[in-house]
Chains A and B, each alone.
Chain A
Amino acid sequence: MAVSFEVSEKGYYGKFGGAYIPEMLYPNVEELRQSYLQIMADPDFQADFEDLLKNYVGRPTPLYFAKRLSESVGAKVYLKREDLNHTGAHKVNNTIGQILLAKRLGKHKIIAETGAGQHGVATATVCALMGMECIVYMGEIDMERQKPNVERMRILGAEVVPATSGSKTLKDATNEAMRHWIQHPTDTHYIIGSVVGPHPYPDMVAKFQSVISEEIRKQLLEQEGRENPDYVIACVGGGSNAAGAFYHFMDEPEVQLVATEAGGLGVDSGKTAATTSIGTEGVLHGSKTILMQTEDGQIVEPYSISAGLDYPGIGPLHAHLFDSKRGTFLSITDDEAMEAGVKLSKLEGIIPAVESAHAFAALEKMEFKADDVVVVNLSGRGDKDLATYIKYGKY
């Protein structure tokens, strides 16, 4: 029997997923689980979602044939321009969906976690749009590293609360958001920003992000006369942009799915976020997946030059893509990513987010045939990363 990439009734992708949550969160998560598919299938909901994606976010985003990059790589390279979304990344696809869902569940307060601040900004944005109260948890260290995004959230009316426990980064911000949700179980919806967390979050976020691959299919048909590319390449931290870019191709075996993880200073350096290279099975933030951890089961703090990939796990769908060998997972070092980001800037006039630059670095590591059609998900723009580019300096 063919391997399934659809989530099971109990919330599993193969052996990964589930909802490992304290009993105090059970009613919230159960409410969501029982209603999300029904709400998302409602024509009124779909009309609202599509209207906002079109008129507010600016979708569909272009599928752009990158001529000069293609000549350099030796294949037909298309860029899915998620960087052109309102707020500058794919994150907003999910926050628009979840805030509409929160409204239908009768919630009027929103919480979120953020690492680099992109999901926090996308959440603060939709909360402003809907007039909802918004609290974003962010690691104290990340707040220092990503000051402009902290101020963007504040301008948008959100309260940014520092996570001061543990390593004071994304995983701790997620812990704090979960604790807040435990304390405010009835009026608050938690907008998780990636395909992580307890079921139904991974599936719900993947479905909201699946607009990316839905558009790729249509656009590729128009431009290449075929719906399926040979390759789809996307970076993976938790994995939301990759889940969206892969979604409609998972059951199309001729499409190769390539996920790039942040290798940091190298997978053996102790300074890495390449989860599938050094991780093992475990449970974090509500789901069974692949994690960076010690023998004793303590979560190991990841490192990457890109704050958006700086997470010690991957979503359970990606763990299943990896485990079943449906997906190819590559590790890209900080330097390889920066080099690829500068190359894209010079060849195509597009400065990518450092996260997305990890996807472009895969082009340098893979062998292609001249007529291969390769889609790279350009998940975000590089404006937020200027300081990182300047520090890197080789341009």
Chain B
Amino acid sequence: MNRINQLFEEKDSNLLNVYFTAGYPNTADTRTVLESLDASGADLIEIGIPFSDPVADGPVIQRSNEKALAQGMSLKLLFEQLDGMREKVKAPVILMGYVNPVIQFGIEEFCKECQRVGVDGIIVPDLPLQAYLDDYKATFDDYGIRNVFLISPQTSEERIRLIDEKTDGFIYMVSDAGTTGARKGISEAQLTYFERIQDMKLKNPRLIGFGISDHDSFSTACNYANGAIIGSAFVNSLSEAEDIPTAITNFVSRVKNG
């Protein structure tokens, strides 16, 4: 069974998904960050594939992408770094990236490498549902790779139902209209949206992301979904970290326990 499906079978609340950019703060840090997150109790781990033009990302993740690329990070190198990770890492691992580097790598080759190193799923924000179904799904399915779709407050009910039908993993709920990055708290309008989706009784579990930065916003999000995703706040903490494993243990503990 895919580790993503297995995780949600075993645990259905307060799940913490942490995002970090591959090759950041330094090229050789990918494995350290990954293994420290796993050891610290992150339930899912999302690894960003750096891209020159990340349109869905806010300033913090943009800068981490730029720095990683400037230091020589690439998708090919990422798969080399992830080689053998399953000897240590237990959590489901998801790659998050834009479609162009994946196309250049080759869709089939990409899926093959994901399967080889033990990646369980992928999030490609600029690969829309229809293009995925037409041109990608068959290959992803062949290699057992789950594709995670985003929904936002503007997504129509009809479309959410369609995405739910086509998803086998989880649904990524973008918390409000915006790119990734910290915001000030969670608003009434967002809570109304969270409740609306909760009431739809979707078949897939949901994680809330974008604007989740600390224990408070994490706990609030967890009241309305199976868990939440933290990216920019974590990337920020890495950029200031003196000792990566310690910083990660503290970060994950602060988010989970306050």
Query: Which A residues fall within an 8 A CB radius of B?
Result: 10, 18-24, 26-28, 165-166, 171-172, 175, 178-179, 182-186, 280-286, 291, 293, 295-299
Contacts and interface: CB of A to CB of B under 8 A. Distances in A.
A182 B56 contact: yes
Interface in B124-140: 125-131
Given A22-B126, A24-B150, A26-B155, A297 B101 contact: yes
Interface residues of B, number: 42
9 contacts: A20-B127, A22-B55, A23-B174, A27-B154, A166-B52, A166-B62, A185-B152, A283-B98, A297-B75
A175 B56 CA distance: 9
Nearest to B134: A10
Q: Which of A23, A26, A27, A183 has the most CB of B within 10 A?
A: A23
Nearest to B102: A297
8 closest A-B pairs by CB? A297-B101, A297-B104, A23-B150, A22-B125, A296-B74, A298-B52, A297-B100, A22-B56
B125 A26 contact: no
Contacts of A178: 55
Contacts of A285: 53, 55
Given A185-B154, A282-B104, A297-B104, A21 B179 contact: no
Interface of B: 51-56, 58-59, 62-63, 66, 69, 74-76, 98-105, 125-131, 149-152, 154-156, 159, 174, 177-179
Contact of B69 (A24, A282, A298): A298
A282 B231 CA distance: 27
Nearest to B58: A179
Given A183-B178, A183-B179, A298-B51, A165 B66 contact: yes
Contacts of A182: 55-56, 177-179
Given A21-B126, A24-B150, A185-B154, A297 B177 contact: no
Contact of B103 (A185, A186, A282, A298): A282
B173 to A, nearest CB: 11
Contacts of B125: 22-23
A28 B177 CA distance: 12
A172 B52 CA distance: 9
Contacts, number: 110
At the interface, is chain A mostly helix, strand, loop or mixed? mixed
Contacts of B74: 296
B240 to A, nearest CB: 21
Nearest to A18: B131
Nearest to A280: B104
A165 B62 contact: yes
A293 B100 CA distance: 10
A190 B107 CA distance: 31
A23 B151 contact: yes
Contacts of B63: 165
A19 B127 CA distance: 9
B100 A283 contact: yes
Q: Which of B53, B62, B127, B150 has the most CB of A within 10 A?
A: B53
A20 B149 CA distance: 13
A212 B2 CA distance: 56
A296 B76 contact: yes
Contacts of B154: 24, 26-28, 185-186
Contact of A19 (B128, B149, B179): B128
Contacts of B179: 179, 182-183
A165 B53 CA distance: 9
Contacts of A280: 104
B222 to A, nearest CB: 22
A146 to B, nearest CB: 22
A283 B56 contact: no
A296 B54 CA distance: 15
A166 B53 contact: yes
Contacts of B66: 165-166
A295 B69 CA distance: 13
Contact of A23 (B98, B102, B149): B149
A175 B65 CA distance: 14
A330 to B, nearest CB: 27
Contacts of B101: 296-298
